Amino acid sequence: MFLSVFDIFKIGIGPSSSHTMGPMVAASRFLKALAALPGRTECRRLTASLHGSLAFTGKGHATDRAVFLGLMGFLPDTLDPDQAEALVAGLKVTRSITAPGIGAIAFDPDHDLVFDYGPPLPGHANGMVFTAHGLSGNVVLREVWYSIGGGFVVSEDQLSSVSPSRDTAAGDVPYPFTSAVEMLRMGRESGLSIAAMKEANERVRHGRDLEPGLERLQAAMNGCIDRGLWQEGILPGGLSVRRRAKGLHQQLLGERGSNRAQPHAATDWLLVYAMAVNEENAAGGRVVTAPTNGAAGVVPAVLRYYSDHCVGANADGERQFLLTAAAIGGLIKHRASISGAECGCQAEIGSASAMAAAGLCAALGGTNEQIENAAEIALEHHLGMTCDPAGGLVQVPCIERNGLGAIKAVSAASLALRGDGQHFMPLDNCIETMRQTGQDMATKYKETSLGGLAVNLPEC
């Protein structure tokens, strides 16, 4: 099993990696498959349907817009989010899509995308069906896709060929750990840190592209924070949630160097960094999955906290942070899930907090055992967290929840660093507990907006 740092951290657009980025990728791949089909010229009309969590929270997560953009050939890592609305508006006028080698194909965005609120498709809670129809209504091509969290997508055929342990192509990597136990053992045997082992694995896949890739990721994270700290106004979607990061940031700047600042102001910086990211995400801006869009603020906030507030912070520490966080994220995805639709918000914010805790612990000089302990502490105290976004929007409680996940990550790293790495509950067992808890969690608490905070709203 090998999940690259660039699998865990993907640059894309908000508000959701599983409901926005994944469907956009799946739709574009379907279009590409159609263009390669021998009978493609027979295609006259496209239809699509969304199932499970994609149907129940798709409108709030802009899944319909993502499908439209994907069918037009756009991808989340290269799309200019400022152009998205104009592109969709154009589609609603033309009601057709022009595909390479095929020409114009009828697609009415008001009628040819169906939100199916019936039972979910069998493979995953986030299912999609794309169909190309011929002149007589015959099916030219039909594909089923699943968005499995963090922007990852698999076709129905790919899902059926994956083993129950969800192995991906391992590649010939020198340290192919698939569990925390193996990771710690390989670290002891090699004398290397988790970051160093992860780097060696990445070199096999990315070679000299690793450094510029990591720099691009960190720049995107910081850019998202900076944009969020200067934006204001009401977030889209109808809940009338106002941006708060700019106001909080101005207050913190005003308190610097004064006697008015409380000792806990350090945690306020974590809050404002995380909220800045997730306000940008809620507005459909450019973010980095870490490991998902809904949890995109935790890792950047803690990394920025390390860079700007921690004694002795440097570029090497930032690099260790990202590599270590990606290693932990890969273990969680491999052994459980990072999908809120599959395991609730414990799989999103919990995973992000564990990744950030491990990254900070590594950057501050923690041993491999302390790093594993930090990740376990952070994940353990998110177990059972539901995914219950109000109105299907990634706003309430998601924005504040990222800030609290960042605070827990720093606390977990600090606690682990004050110990010797020996602890009662291993990370692997905690990950398995999260997976089992997700299996047992009622569907209404897993990104459907049918339970929890999503239905206990103020009466207007």
Tens digit of pLDDT for each residue in 229-239? 999 999 999 99
Residue that is written with structure tokens 């006028």 in the block: 93
* Backbone CA torsion sign across 15, 291, 341, 275: negative
Element (H, E) at 350: helix 349-363
CA atoms within 13 A on the CB side of 361: 37
- For the record, the structure tokens of 71 come out as 């069918």
DSSP, res 242: B
Q: Which long-range contacts (CB under 8 A, 24 or more apart) does 226-233 make?
A: 226/276, 227/276, 227/280, 227/285, 228/275, 228/276, 228/277, 228/278, 228/279, 228/280, 228/285, 229/272, 229/276, 231/279, 231/280, 231/283
Q: How far apart are CA 247 and CA 237, in angstroms?
A: 21
Residue corresponding to tokens 């791949």: 29
Listed in sequence order, the DSSP H helices in 148-264 are: 156-161, 180-190, 194-206, 210-230, 245-255
Instruction: Output the pLDDT for position 261.
Output: 77
* Beta-strand pair 152-155/139-149: antiparallel
DSSP 8-state assignment for residue 446:
B
What are residue 105's DSSP bridge partners? 97
Q: For residues 175 and 194, what is the distance between their CA atoms, to the nearest angstrom?
A: 10
What is the predicted pLDDT for the residue at 258?
A: 79
pLDDT of the residue at 163: 47
Check: CB of residue 277 under 8 Å from CB of residue 222: no
Contact of 193 with 157, CB cutoff 8 Å? no
pLDDT at 170: 56
Contact (Cβ atoms closer than 8 angstroms) between residue 53 and residue 126: yes
The Cα 216–Cα 366 span in angstroms is 25
HSE at residue 414, side-chain half, CA atoms within 13 A, is 9
Instruction: Decide if 318 contacts 308 (C-beta within 8 A).
Output: no
For residue 279, what are its two tokens?
Answer: 């306000």
User: pLDDT tens per residue, the chain (460 residues)?
Assistant: 689 999 999 999 999 999 999 999 999 999 999 999 887 778 999 999 999 999 999 999 999 999 999 999 999 999 999 999 999 999 999 999 988 778 899 999 999 999 999 999 999 999 999 999 998 889 999 999 999 999 999 999 988 775 444 444 456 899 999 999 999 999 999 999 999 999 999 999 999 999 999 999 999 999 999 999 999 999 999 999 999 999 999 999 999 877 777 888 889 999 999 999 999 999 999 999 999 999 999 999 999 999 999 999 999 999 999 999 999 999 999 999 999 999 999 999 999 999 999 999 999 999 999 999 999 999 999 999 999 999 999 999 999 999 999 999 999 999 999 999 999 999 999 999 999 999 999 999 999 999 999 999 887 5
- pTM value is 0.95
